[in-house]
Amino acid sequence: CARASAEGASLPRSPSDEPPPNKLVEDGRVVLVAGAGVLALEAVALVSGGLFNVLGLELPPAVAGFILATAALMVAPAKMAKAVSKALEPAHSVLERYTGLIFVPYIVLLFTSGLPPGAELVRGLAACAASWLVVTTATAWTVSIAENMATGRAASEATESTSSEEKEEEAELSACPSGAISLLDSVFSLGTCVAVSFLLGGPFLLLRRAALRGGIAAATRASLVVPLRLMGTVAVYRAAQRVPVLGGLFPTLISGAIVAISLLASGGASAVELYMRSAGAALLWMVTPSIVACSLSAYYSRKALSANVVPLLAGLVVGVPMAMATGALMARVFGLSEAVGMATLAKHNMSRFAVEIANALGVSPGLACAACVVTGILGVCVLPPLLDVLGIRSQLARGVAAGASSHGAGTLGLAARGEAEASAFASTTFALGGAVAVLLVSIAPFRSVLLALAGYA
């Protein structure tokens, strides 16, 4: 018996005998890796912006970082590129998960700075819809024609093969951060955020009363402002996520409106200013890393991009300039003021890029984000049936048209119908198209052309 026991002890342990890893510890580690990745993406943007400035090109750091990061991933050795993407994937996944939350402050600014008057608001909506229809139709037909001319059956089969390989690779890379995202969702759950807000709210009110009596420094009270307003914003956003996306009631729009109303009711313009300098600034800091993180989406789709480079280029060449040119023309046709008309030119891009475009054009980022909501509604509700009516069956053409005209919302509209391949092309298109759009508006002659088309020159 002793010998048998000794032999049994010498046998290797099976995997089932190994103690299970502590999932909470592992997810916490990935959260820390995600935080480090966000800081790394911010550093990439700053360094890239400096390099472009040295070359005499004044680009926003976020877009410069996206361009250089995408190029670096594409040309790097396969093992190195995969290692880098694996290291940054937690940050990429977290930023994608909370993109809507990051842009809540812009919606707050929109509601607090005031929407256009009633008549101009209606004209602005009509101009956005008309421009969206032109861009969607023209881009879809252009890509469809280019695809028929440049690709055959073999290329189509190669595309399907590479697309499946990319899906497997992305699934492998995103498997690790999924637990971290679940952990963050638990930490920032609606109940937790509400509880923390109440816990911070009590001391904040006491300190505020003491400050009014002169018994405590305002700086001490201000130390609670950032966490209190930040947790309050997250709580409102998590509650808004439970509202069905009907009629364009996206969580970002709902939560932005609620936060704006509560700020105006509690302290007016001064409360809004304090919010933008505290919680708003903390959220908006994430915009730059989120744009640079789009380079990973482009990297994941590299094989599909190379297999369909001609149709994709055709879609970008036609869709991106046309989106802004038709927007300028529609602003002129519908008689929009310069502040409103120029803000609508960014509407076909995701909010991350729309903000940069608005800043380059010198218009309100809040209005630009509102215009993005309009095209987002059209992308979710109208785009798929419109492409069906137009007879666009190609997944490539449908995806590029959605990405060029309706950014991320168009991608979701296709994904909701089970068009996974089209949504993959759409995500790549709006990432690349956004960078191209920012590049174009950074060129003074191009801005002059837009002003002339809109009648503002």
Closest-CA residue to 272 (of 95, 113, 63, 64)? 113
Residues 98-122: what's their mean pLDDT? 78
What own/partner pairs with CB < 8 Å and gap ≥ 24 does 40-49 have?
40/88, 40/91, 41/65, 41/69, 41/88, 41/91, 41/288, 41/289, 41/292, 41/293, 42/285, 42/288, 42/289, 42/292, 44/68, 44/69, 44/292, 45/288, 45/289, 45/291, 45/292
C-alpha–C-alpha distance, residues 149 and 166, integer Å: 25
Which has the higher per-residue pLDDT, 178 or 243?
243
Q: Which of 276, 455, 411, 434 is nearest to 353 (CA)?
A: 434
What's the pLDDT tens digit per position in 161-184? 445 555 555 555 555 555 556 666
**Which range has the top average pLDDT, 58-62, 229-233, 241-245, 439-443?**
439-443
Would the pLDDT of 354 be above 60? Answer: yes
For residue 404, give every residue at least 6 positions away whose Cβ sits within 8 Å of its Cβ, in sequence order, or none.
Answer: 135, 136, 139, 315, 316, 319, 320, 323, 348, 429, 430, 433
pLDDT the model gives residue 333: 94
Q: How far is CA 240 from CA 61, 234, 321, in A?
A: 31, 10, 34
Q: Residue range 375-385: average pLDDT?
A: 81
Among the listed residues 231, 220, 339, 218, the one whose alpha carbon sits nearest the alpha carbon of residue 279: 231
Residue 62, phi-psi category: left (phi > 0), alpha (psi -120 to 50), beta (remainder): alpha
Count Cβ atoms below 10 Å from residue 326 Cβ, excluding itself. Answer: 22
Residues 275 and 230: their CA atoms lie apart, in Å, by 9
Q: In angstroms, how far is CA 396 from the centroid of its own chain?
A: 21
370 to each of 116, 237, 260, 349, 367, how far by Cα in Å? Answer: 11, 17, 14, 12, 5
**Residue 43: is its pLDDT beyond 90?**
yes
State the average pLDDT over residues 212-221: 48
Q: Mean per-residue pLDDT for 305-327?
A: 88
Q: What is the pLDDT of residue 332?
A: 93
What average pLDDT does range 348-360 have in this prediction?
Answer: 85
Token pair recorded at residue 381:
């509700």
- The helix/strand/coil state of 223 is coil
Instruction: Place 269 in a pLDDT band, splitting at 50, 70 and 90.
Output: confident
pLDDT at 345 over 70: yes
- For residue 432, what pLDDT is reported? 83
453: confidence class by pLDDT, cuts 50, 70, 90: very high
CA distance 381 to 455: 32
Mean pLDDT of 316-345: 91
SS3 label, residue 386 = helix
What pLDDT does residue 9 have? 45
User: Is the predicted pLDDT of residue 247 greater than 70, yes or no?
Assistant: no
Query: Cα(301)–Cα(226) distance, rounded to whole angstroms?
Result: 38
* Percent of residues, the chain, with pLDDT higher than 90: 17
Task: Report d(CA 292, CA 314) in Å as an integer.
Answer: 24
Q: What is the pLDDT of residue 428?
A: 78
Distance of CA 281 to the CA centre of its chain: 17
pLDDT for residue 209: 53
Determine contact, residues 325/453, Cβ cutoff 8 Å.
Answer: yes
Q: What are the structure tokens assigned to 33, written together? A: 């890796």
Whether 157 shows a pLDDT value over 90: the answer reads no
d(CA 402, CA 409): 8
Residue 4, pLDDT score:
45
* Mean pLDDT for the stretch of residues 339-360: 87
Check whether 15 has a pLDDT greater than 60.
no
Q: Taking all residues of the chain, what is their mean pLDDT, rounded to a whole number?
A: 77
- pLDDT, mean of residues 438-452: 91
User: How sure is the predictor about 330, in pLDDT bands with cuts at 50, 70 and 90?
Assistant: very high
- State residue 219's pLDDT score: 46
Whether residue 342 has pLDDT greater than 70: yes
- pLDDT above 70: residue 384: yes
Compare 448 and 193 and report the one with higher pLDDT.
448
Question: Domain-by-domain residue ranges, the chain?
Answer: 98-152+186-454
Highest mean predicted confidence (pLDDT) among 158-167, 196-205, 368-377: 368-377
Q: What is the mean pLDDT of residues 297-315?
A: 82
Q: Is residue 290 packed enough to be buried (19+ CB in 10 Å), middle (13-18) or exposed (0-12)?
A: buried
Q: pLDDT at position 3, please?
A: 44
Quote the CA–CA distance of 344 and 339 in Å, as a whole number.
Answer: 9
On whether the CB atoms of residues 112 and 260 are closer than 8 A, the answer is yes
Looking at the predicted structure, is the pLDDT value of residue 96 above 60?
yes
Separation CA 273–CA 242 (nearest Å): 28
Q: Report d(CA 222, CA 211) in Å as an integer.
A: 10
